[in-house]
A and B are shown apart, each in its own frame.
Chain A
Amino acid sequence: MPGLRNTIRELRADQNMTQQELADAIGVTRQTVIAIELDKYSPSLETAFKIAQVFRVPLEQVFQYEAGRKK
């Protein structure tokens, strides 16, 4: 089953950002950030772009699509 993986946890650690701070910056709950980090929830395109903007990196550096990866 195809799936998304992401590097949000690493990017947050690099910028000393908490899950709550990221959640506030992109307008979602902390629980949603946790679900995204754990690859249990795939965010909308809009939220994905917002996350990339917060970290000032290209979208593909935050999210990678892996065909055949089980979610």
Chain B
Amino acid sequence: MGSLSYQERTLWGSLVAELVVYLPYFFLNLHRANSVNKVAGTIFAIIVLQIIVQSIIAAATRHRITDERDKIIQLRGYRAGYLTWVTLMVVGLAMLWFHSMAGDFPIHAGFVGLHFLNVFFGMLVISDIVKTVAQIVAYRRDS
């Protein structure tokens, strides 16, 4: 950790927090409960965990500078995240349409709404993780 800049440390912290919160949500079948409360709980958990992790990192880092290279890498990360989000948006909507056409789930307002919520939430989560990973990779490649 000694050779990492403040921005790199915050990125690693974000990645750990994201994986700790999102992996159980997506891989322990919590999302199958199809509940708005579960999504809201996950969002609340990531916010709380991020605040704790980032506070610890800020307290443990002496030089908390953000410079021009950090900003360029941040933009690269946002570009990667945006491209991922757009791609997943098209794929996600196509899958929703395909499943509804195939009759995998009945089309009534509440059910489709929850499916949309899960798909969009999943896309946002994946895009955010891609953004973070892209930035970490950019830092490692440039150093």
Residues on B with beta carbons closer than 8 Å to the beta carbon of A31: 3-5, 8, 69, 139, 143
Chain B residues numbered 8-49 whose CB sits less than 8 Å from any CB in chain A: 8
Asked whether, in the complex, the Cβ of B65 is within 8 Å of the Cβ of A29, the reply is yes
Contact B67 A40 (CB under 8 A): no
Interface assignment of A43: CB less than 8 Å from any CB of chain B: yes
Contact between B68 and A29, CB atoms less than 8 A apart: no
Mask for A18-48, Cβ within 8 A of B = 1, else 0?
Answer: 0010010001111110110010110110010
- The interface size bin for chain B is 10 to 19
Q: Report 18 cross-chain contacts, Cβ distance below 8 Å, ordered by A residue.
A: A20-B63, A23-B63, A27-B65, A28-B67, A28-B68, A29-B5, A29-B6, A29-B67, A29-B70, A30-B63, A31-B3, A31-B4, A31-B8, A31-B139, A32-B70, A34-B143, A35-B69, A41-B69
Binding site for B on A (CB under 8 A): 20, 23, 27-32, 34-35, 38, 40-41, 43-44, 47
| B residues lining the A interface (CB < 8 Å) | 3-8, 63, 65, 67-70, 139, 141-143
